[in-house]
Homo-oligomer: A and B are copies of this chain.
Amino acid sequence: MELLNKHVTIRKFKEKEINDELLKSIIYSGTRASTTGNMQLYSVVLTKDKTQRERLAPFHFNQPVAKQAPVLLTFIADFNRFVKWCEYRNAHPGYDNFLSFFTAAIDALLFAQNVCIAAENNGLGICYLGTTTYNAQEISEVLQLPKLTFPVTTVAIGYPDERPELTDRISVKGILHNEKYEDYSKEIVDELYSFKENLEMSEQFVKENKKETLAQVFTDIRYKKADNEFFSEKMLNFLKLQGFLG
């Protein structure tokens, strides 16, 4: 499928605004995604306003793409709306737990991916910001998210002002398991990762960062153990504060 197969992340956008009708239309396409028991356990907060964007930027580590995109969409795992409905209808909800959080997160992410595909189908470009889960609490304060909600990802969106090439992926063989999971031997790992390791860009990363291997660039620089542990604890604490850990 052409549209999916040619997807590339866009980090540089034109100044051109996205009109409201188009935004509503791609969000509508999002709502057509599968959702658990048709409960639609998600919301999305649209950020255009300059002040709001300046408030959010540091929590996305001031990535240029987060500052430069005309629109940020923050996708929320949302049990608040559903629970409000239950309460107004004399029903006694029990969704203040981890399973319910994760169920809402699934809903929100399928919704988000549909929105992204609909956006690309309309000539827009997108960039997922993984920083959302790192700073979920601070982002929630800016967006005034209530209990039983949690921001799971943010998408920067706008008209592309660059045309990057397709990025490398490991082969389908490397991620598809028939009937049972077959663990990865050194030989298979060598085969799956050699293409990536031999890219000029990868070799440059290794050299610039004075590392021995590309994997070390990930473990020692980009996604470090200490950071992961720090942000894990932060995320779990905020899940508790939002009412999702009992």
Task: Give A contacts to B, CB under 8 Å.
Answer: 1, 4-7, 9, 24, 26-29, 31-34, 36-40, 42-49, 52, 76, 78, 80-82, 84-86, 88-95, 97-100, 102-103, 105-106, 109-110, 112-114, 116-118, 121-122, 126-128, 130, 133-134, 143-146, 149, 152-153, 166-170, 172, 174-181, 183-184, 186, 189-190, 192-193, 212-216, 218-220, 222-226, 228-229, 231-232, 235-236, 246
Q: Is the CB of A170 within 8 A of B40?
A: yes
| A59 → B minimal CB distance (Å) | 15
Chain B residues with CB below 8 A from A174, complex form:
81
Asked if residues A181 and B149 are in contact (CB atoms below 8 Å), the reply is yes
Give chain B residues whose Cβ lies under 8 Å from the Cβ of A6: 32
State which of B109, B167, B186 has its C-beta within 8 Å of the C-beta of A88: B186
Select one of B40, B95, B103, B177 contacting A133, CB under 8 A.
Answer: B103
A94 and B229 form a contact (CB under 8 A): yes
How far, in angstroms, from A235 to B106 measured CA to CA in the complex? 15
Residues of B within 8 A of A106 (CB): 109, 130, 133, 152-153
Q: Which of B43, B122, B220 contacts A181 (CB 8 A)?
A: B43
Query: Is A218 a contact partner of B176 (Cβ separation < 8 A)?
Result: no
On chain B, the residues within 8 Å of A36 by CB distance are 128, 130
Q: List 20 A-B contacts (CB under 8 A).
A: A1-B26, A1-B121, A4-B117, A4-B118, A5-B32, A6-B32, A7-B33, A32-B166, A38-B169, A40-B175, A42-B175, A45-B177, A85-B184, A86-B218, A90-B212, A92-B225, A97-B229, A98-B236, A146-B183, A229-B246
Question: How far does the alpha carbon of A215 sit from the alpha carbon of B89 in the complex, in Å?
Answer: 6
Contact A40 B110 (CB under 8 A): no
Query: Are B100 and A232 within 8 A (Cβ)?
Result: yes
A167 → chain B closest CB, angstroms = 6
Given contacts A109-B106, A144-B180, A152-B106, contact A1 B29 (CB under 8 A): yes
Task: Decide yes or no: A46 and B133 within 8 Å by CB, A34-B116, A235-B98 being known contacts.
Answer: no
Q: With A29-B5, A102-B235 as given contacts, are A183 and B80 in contact (CB-CB < 8 Å)? A: yes
A95 cross-chain contacts in B, Cβ below 8 A: 223, 225, 228
